[in-house]
Amino acid sequence: MLLATDADWVVEEVAAALSAPEVTFRVVRSGHDVRPAVKASTPDLVILDFQIGNMGGMATCLDLRLESGMGRLPRVPVLMLADREADVFLARRSDADAWLVKPLNPLLLRRTAQELLHRDAVSTG
């Protein structure tokens, strides 16, 4: 999994909720670092914090979708972590596959991630 956030508490909460022996995390601290990270090693899931400092989650998700549409990157499922309910509209507009509003509920985070991973496995397998 690739997690993009500049907030340590988000890294800690996501890792606590999704850690498992078969799960590995890569963390990037900037939206600009997401595309190169996906290109270098395609993750099974990208988790984007909506409020990433220099390139927000919405712009980052749109960038991934545009690159995928042009065939330069594979399409990967994206889970957006929104700051407030009003951000859900923007998450939808950015073509995120799913979204959760902070504060994070660990059980809901785990279930949503598993659903996205399963959906992606079914569509590609």
Residue 116, Cβ neighbours under 10 Å: how many?
20
Q: Which domain, by its residues, includes 12?
A: 2-119
What is the band of 119 on the pLDDT scale with cuts at 50, 70, 90?
confident
Domain contains 37? yes
Chain segment 63-100, per-residue pLDDT in tens:
999 999 999 999 999 999 999 999 999 999 999 999 99
Q: Is residue 113 a part of any domain in this protein?
A: yes
CA dihedral sign of residues 38, 82, 96, 23: positive
pLDDT at 121: 58
Count of structural domains within the chain: 1
Residue 25 lies in a domain: yes
| CB contact at 8 A, 48 and 80 | yes
pTM of the model: 0.92
pLDDT tens-digit map of 5-57? 999 999 999 999 999 999 999 999 999 999 999 999 999 999 999 998 778 89
Phi, psi (deg, nearest 5) at residue 16: -65, -40
The CATH number of residue 43's host domain is 3.40.50.2300
Residue 124 lies in a domain: no
In a domain, 125, yes or no: no
Domain presence at residue 71? yes
